[in-house]
Chain A
């Protein structure tokens, strides 16, 4: 099955090219690993095109430091769907680091996790499945008990 990019609930063209660590850099928007960002920092930041970084699930986005200001995309990888660290990484990006760019999920995650992922700050998903299924996943539970990165009113707010 092919993977599509669903962003803010709609199917989207992927403008970024992921570039492996020693592959030549193409024109246009690219995504690189943290290793490459560190190694070729000057060159990458000097390009006048959108830049993204892909983090493994054991890499905290705090490691990006002030480079985050130059990034328009952070891709968080799910090596297996049980690895829940990226839920905290997305939350940190939005809440602590005030990242306004795209947070994209890639790798092994499931339909049943989408609602959680949107709540902690993901807005783009490399996934199989349709926008309809995506919409359904978000609508399964109407209200939430806890505040998160989505700023939704909680059940406690609604009780007031």
Chain B
């Protein structure tokens, strides 16, 4: 993985001291909360319902054993013993004290971590396919591109006070595991007809109260031009994005108001000028320097057989939680952070430490965080799988549900967040408990839950999406069907009026029962929905209310 050189290290350390100075000025009253806010946000520090929350960047979701141990240490020393992995591949701590935050950041800097631009109206931490460097369907590892963008965007002088936040994702595979079409900007590594590698750039995706899918603005951006192209997009956005209404300030609104032709024209003009200036070209030597850090490990020549395990649960886990690897004798394994009835994405300090030991003991260099709030072991020797499974099981991390109905994405909701209208964690927990026994029979089904319209739980992209709303002080939940964040991206369709807190789990179960009756061979829930539409599901979902009305 990437290692800081002297310049990166000095940059992060100075950023810590800069923030320490900002915190001091806040504590002495020189800065008021309104003035402090954008600067604490640019360092990942939120003021939540009960306390500050610190969001630490995990650039493109890659973590080493040393970094995992540091996160465990921070959870113990400064928090209540656990962290929470997010849909942006980051980790959040929910209980730090303001005075401690500069020290936390200083400790993180010793393991090449930071919280730079994990929040605020700036270019956020860049995410990437969590199977990067391991996936069978990969053209090229997306992480060197993500790292190049991370450096360029760090304290960008022109783009640190944008109309709104700006999220970038990068993928280099044919399957989209990075939710590209829901990002403000997405970079897709592609090959042209001449066999050259370049980038397809998409702009204008997003969730929130007005969800949009992004569209292509650059069909094939040549490698040296990547940053010039991105700078062009950002300038168009900084100059033209709306600043009069926070709900219309994301680039998705600009992009879909102007339309692709006008957007492309504006970008082309800026791009031509920035490219001609020649100062922002990505030199091939620098690209290779960064790419070398992400070179795959030396894969051993191994048998492709997976040994037998005496544990009857192993076979299920093997089926659901491992994925094809590009090297013979290796597998990718998903570590589910969705224990049945648990809090999606939470990880204790003991688990973080134990995962570090797991990496060391099985000679694995790194762990990944997925945007689905799970962890991933990218390079597991198949011969080690039974032992790795046994270890994960002893840690409570062997839930065999990757991609199944209990593998729920869920925002913190009203239990933590001061933006939320409704609780989301308890709904996730109850759905998980209700459907766990049948999840293998149900098959791939992605449920995503947000506690408010801001859509941090990605409900628009759920095969089944659930949105918590507040109606006169009572929590209600709207159902959306048919969304997807993958290569078949779509925005879910709202079913109708919301369900009460005690009705929503039953409604979800009835929808799933209907699917089990109506599905044809091999159809996922999403396929059945796309074939037959909303009506059959709507007809059963509201049964309870109909009975209650009579």
Query: What residues make up the interface of A, taking CB atoms closer than 8 Å to B?
Result: 60, 81-85, 87-89, 91, 95-96, 110, 112-113, 115-117, 119-120, 140-148, 155-156, 158-160
- Residue on A with the closest CB to B15? A141
Interface pair A83/B243, CB less than 8 Å apart = yes
> How many angstroms from the CA of A148 to the CA of B14 in the assembled complex?
20
Interface pair A143/B11, CB less than 8 Å apart = yes
Q: Which of A85, A110, A112, A142 contacts B239 (CB 8 A)?
A: A85
Tell yes or no: B361 within 8 A of A by CB: no
Interface pair B157/A88, CB less than 8 Å apart = no
Q: Which of A85, A146, A159 contacts B286 (CB 8 A)?
A: A159
> Interface range on chain B: under 10, 10 to 19, 20 to 34, or 35 or more?
35 or more
Interface pair A145/B35, CB less than 8 Å apart = no
- Residue on A with the closest CB to B236? A88
Shortest beta-carbon distance, B237 to chain A, in Å? 10
- Residue on A with the closest CB to B14? A141
A residues near B151, Cβ cutoff 8 Å: 145, 155
Interface pair A83/B14, CB less than 8 Å apart = no
Tell yes or no: B193 within 8 A of A by CB: no
A residues near B285, Cβ cutoff 8 Å: 160
B residues near A120, Cβ cutoff 8 Å: 157-158
Once A120-B158, A145-B152, A159-B7 are accepted as A-B contacts, the answer to whether A95 and B277 lie under 8 Å apart by CB is yes
Shortest beta-carbon distance, B161 to chain A, in Å? 3
Interface of B, helix, strand, loop or mixed by DSSP:
helix
Shortest beta-carbon distance, A10 to chain B, in Å? 22
Which of B154, B160, B161 gathers most chain A CB within 10 Å?
A: B161
Interface pair A87/B158, CB less than 8 Å apart = yes
Once A87-B157, A147-B279 are accepted as A-B contacts, the answer to whether A159 and B14 lie under 8 Å apart by CB is no
> How many angstroms from the CA of A153 to the CA of B284 in the assembled complex?
18
B269-317 interface with A by 8 A CB criterion: 273, 277, 279-280, 283, 285-286, 289
B116-146 interface with A by 8 A CB criterion: 121
Interface pair A112/B39, CB less than 8 Å apart = yes
Instruction: In the complex, identify which listed stretch (B17-25, B494-502, B541-549) lies at the interface while the others stay far away.
Output: B17-25
B12-61 interface with A by 8 A CB criterion: 14-15, 17-18, 21-22, 35, 38-39
Tell yes or no: B238 within 8 A of A by CB: yes
Q: Which of B35, B238, B283 contacts A85 (CB 8 A)?
A: B238
Which of A85, A88, A113 gathers most chain B CB within 10 Å?
A: A88
Interface pair B279/A143, CB less than 8 Å apart = no
- Residue on B with the closest CB to A87? B158
A residues near B156, Cβ cutoff 8 Å: 145-146
Interface pair B38/A82, CB less than 8 Å apart = yes
> How many angstroms from the CA of A60 to the CA of B239 in the assembled complex?
8
Tell yes or no: B2 within 8 A of A by CB: no
Interface pair B157/A116, CB less than 8 Å apart = yes
Q: Could you list 14 examples of A-B contacts with CB < 8 Å?
A: A60-B239, A81-B35, A84-B160, A87-B159, A88-B238, A91-B158, A112-B39, A119-B158, A120-B158, A141-B155, A146-B156, A147-B280, A148-B157, A155-B7
Interface pair B157/A146, CB less than 8 Å apart = yes
A residues near B18, Cβ cutoff 8 Å: 140-141
- Residue on B with the closest CB to A158? B7
Tell yes or no: B10 within 8 A of A by CB: yes
> How many angstroms from the CA of A20 to the CA of B247 in the assembled complex?
34
B residues near A96, Cβ cutoff 8 Å: 273
Once A113-B161, A140-B17, A159-B7 are accepted as A-B contacts, the answer to whether A145 and B38 lie under 8 Å apart by CB is no
Shortest beta-carbon distance, A84 to chain B, in Å? 3
